[in-house]
Chains A and B, each alone.
Chain A
Amino acid sequence: MYKDASARNESGTALTVATKGIAVGHLRDRPPREQRTVLRHLVFAIGAVGALAVALPPSLGTPILVFSMAAIGCNLLLGTGGLLSFGQGALFGAGAYAFTLATVRGGSEPLVALLVSVAAGTAGGAFMGTISSARRGIPGVMLTFALAQLAVFSVYAFRRITGGEDGIRGVPSTLLALGPFQLNHALSTYVVSALLFTLIVVTAARLNESPLGYALKAVRDNEDRVAAIGLHVRQLKITAFAISGAITATAGAAHTLYLQSVSIDAVSVGTGIAILMISILGGSRSVAGAVLGAVVFTVLSDRLALVWSRWPMLLGIALILSAIGLRGGLWGLITDLRAWFRLRMAALRHETRVGT
């Protein structure tokens, strides 16, 4: 699928690093490159949180952070592992329902409920990974589709626990105090989401450059080769699904905290597809792409929806375009433009020098 030269090249490196990583245990001689990644992404996350807080009200900022987290979870599967999953809505919903049930029915503290959500997401992701990785290619994708549908109909069928089409309300709001300042619900949720977001951005970026990350990239580019050098492909896929589940469920929990309720929408196939679209729209191979996708999607759906209620048509067109040409998403477009611009500048400089 990724037949261009640069991708093949990357796959080569990915394989080498992956094997090396496995060979030396856990990369005891970690190159400074990874530390730089962590630092760069920490700065990026803090910058993004700050910029969003300044530019947009928390009622937009929080959903952006939530969907960024979900898209990062999706990127890990799609961008890094080449695994298309229709089940991201189910994982998001697992986090959302676990958080709601823990707080409303179980009376847990928010922090405990968050841990419950992460556990539910990890378990759900591992389950989905185990089932779907039993088959390669389209049957695997179809298995995630079947599981996603099953999750929706289960929420509907077990309405005594889940509230069915009504959902569950009454998630207590977590109010933070910063020193003497008591924050209101909107700000508190924004701060909580921002902390989780930062944690996830850094973890995901670090993961991408870990032996696991390289092994997954190798699976994406050539599954047979990875198996041939002795790595356990299925285990890698299951691990990716489990981590993606944990991240996506965290997003689901933050979303619930923000809405103070959960509805069947959270678990729907539509939510899963929205997450996929954000990930693809922004660019599924980078953390920055996920955030960019979430910003564009949320702002469009909020602002454009006011003027033009048929705005999803634009999303459709964007998806078609990205399928035909813009495989790297918006972020890919930006990096391509930057590269083109540099080349152009270099050429110009060269011309000037030749001219004089």
Chain B
Amino acid sequence: MGPLLKLKPELKRWYTITTDYVFGEGLLTATKDLLAEAGATHVGNSYHSLDETQFSSYLNNARAANPDVLLLLNFGGQSTTSLKQAISFGLRDELTLAMAVSSGLEQLRALGPEVLEGVYMGGAYWHTVDTSRNKEFVDAFRGEYGRTPGTLAAQGYEGARMILEGVARAGSQDPEAVIEALEGYTYDALTGPSEIRADDHQLLKDYLLLRGKARAEMADEDDLVEVLSSGQSYKSPSEAGCDALVPLGE
């Protein structure tokens, strides 16, 4: 959400709704840090469980805190549901709505422009990203399947390509050798230059800030959002709290 803070510095008071488990907690900590850095205030947070479907109470709590921004730190079906409920409570007219993690075209299509209009979202991929590789990919995908690729398609494509590249570099299919060959690998991803950090195998790639368009602004039915900015902000391994690679199960 860093880019949104830079884009609209007048948004000072932020309220968050967070899934109560590691992923949500991680997002919340990162958000608090960013807000503190930018001099904005975190005015409150509501936790909800992984199987919550009824968000009205949290939305009332959020409204009562009188924030400029309501930021949803949940994902998948829960972000869909909570965003819809926020819209149905008329919160879009009162404050800025933002969703930290949108899961791509399929989810946004299900939400539709009536819900998405004016909502800010983070996203890993969007088909209008302006790189030459992405244009090739989108054209090829549309030619093959007759539809627009979403995040899952893009990630599948990138993942497979990365493994192939690793096998080619290592000259073998031995997993250990492939891992080693890919450490520090830099390449042109669909969203721009990316790198696999050698220390902790974190993939450093661009993350997008999106904003929902109104139906009237849409060029075609998949043109749901505009890409406002794209960039990287990753913690170093030690900041992120994982100093060494610990294989699972040991």
* Interface residues, chain A, with chain B CB atoms under 8 Å away: 156, 159, 164-166
Contacts and interface: CB of A to CB of B under 8 A. Distances in A.
Contacts of B21: 164-166
A89 to B, nearest CB: 16
B22 interface: yes
B200 interface: no
A165 B78 CA distance: 16
Interface string B2-22: 000000000000000000111
A166 B26 CA distance: 12
Q: Which 10 A-B pairs have the closest CB atoms?
A: A165-B21, A165-B20, A166-B21, A166-B22, A164-B20, A165-B50, A165-B49, A156-B49, A159-B20, A164-B21
Give the interface residue-count category, chain B.
Answer: under 10
A13 B21 CA distance: 54
Nearest to A153: B49
A112 B34 CA distance: 45
Interface in B3-53: 20-22, 25, 49-50
A326 B21 CA distance: 42
Contacts of A156: 20, 49
Contacts of B20: 156, 159, 164-165
Contacts of B22: 166
Q: Interface centre among B20, B21, B49, by most A CB within 10 Å?
A: B21
Nearest to A185: B249
Contacts of A164: 20-21
A164 B19 CA distance: 11
A59 to B, nearest CB: 12
A266 B50 CA distance: 16
Nearest to B24: A165
Given A156-B49, A164-B20, A164-B21, 4 more contacts: A156-B20, A165-B21, A165-B49, A166-B21
12 contacts: A156-B20, A156-B49, A159-B20, A164-B20, A164-B21, A165-B20, A165-B21, A165-B49, A165-B50, A166-B21, A166-B22, A166-B25
Contacts of A159: 20
Contacts of A166: 21-22, 25
A166 B22 CA distance: 6
A104 to B, nearest CB: 17
A165 B50 CA distance: 8
A156 B50 CA distance: 11
Interface string B142-184: 0000000000000000000000000000000000000000000
Task: Identify the interface centre among A156, A164, A165, A166: most chain B CB within 10 Å of its CB.
Answer: A165
Contacts of A165: 20-21, 49-50
A165 B51 CA distance: 10
B170 to A, nearest CB: 31
Contacts of B50: 165
A159 B50 CA distance: 14
A25 to B, nearest CB: 53
A159 B20 CA distance: 9
A164 B24 CA distance: 13
A166 B25 CA distance: 10
A159 B24 CA distance: 14
A271 B104 CA distance: 35
B38 to A, nearest CB: 28
Contacts of B49: 156, 165
A156 B49 CA distance: 8
A165 B49 CA distance: 7
A342 B95 CA distance: 79
A149 B49 CA distance: 15
B152 to A, nearest CB: 19
A298 to B, nearest CB: 21
B119 to A, nearest CB: 26
A166 B50 CA distance: 10
Nearest to B50: A165
Nearest to A156: B49
B218 to A, nearest CB: 37
A83 B104 CA distance: 51
B74 to A, nearest CB: 12
A159 B25 CA distance: 13
Nearest to B23: A166
A347 B20 CA distance: 66
Interface string B47-71: 0011000000000000000000000
Contacts of B25: 166
A152 to B, nearest CB: 10
A323 B49 CA distance: 34
B79 to A, nearest CB: 17
B20 to A, nearest CB: 5
Interface string B93-115: 00000000000000000000000
A197 B93 CA distance: 62
A156 B20 CA distance: 9
A156 B22 CA distance: 14
A92 to B, nearest CB: 20
A175 to B, nearest CB: 13
A166 B21 CA distance: 5
B24 to A, nearest CB: 9
